[in-house]
Amino acid sequence: MNAAPISHAPAADRPRLAWRCRRGMKELDLLLAGWLDARFEQASAEQRREFEALLELPDPLLARYLLGGQRPERSDLAALIECIRGDSRIMSTAARDGNLPPGPALQDMLVPGGTAERS
């Protein structure tokens, strides 16, 4: 009997991924753990791999993608980020340019590189 690789066994991945969803910002914790709880079990193997790739990103970049409205260049990650943002109930509305304050100086304080060019 062949054991399925870990990336194809969602129940085995959950504790490890739940730990990796714990980030340096509460908002990121809520967004990532929320998707893990709500969607991971039903996600395709490809979506689970994309989620793991997303967890490899540094917190400032994740914040720009999930909170700041910046779109990643990788289309697979962009689709997953839209899904995570769409599922979120921590933001009242998904603002087109993100939910960070509009002032560039304040954005830079909250998210390094927050004024990065947005596509």
User: How far is residue 8's CA from residue 1's CA, in Å, rounded to a whole number?
Assistant: 15
User: Which one has a higher pLDDT value, 104 or 81?
Assistant: 81
> What are the pLDDT digits (tens) for 36-52?
999 998 999 999 999 99
Residue 68: pLDDT band (50, 70, 90) is confident
Q: What are phi and psi of 92, to 5 degrees?
A: -65, -45
| Confidence class for position 24, pLDDT limits 50, 70, 90 | confident
Q: What is the pTM of this model?
A: 0.66
Of 20-34, 36-50, 101-115, the range with the lowest mean pLDDT is 101-115
Domains, the chain, ranges and CATH? 8-91+99-110 (1.10.150.250)
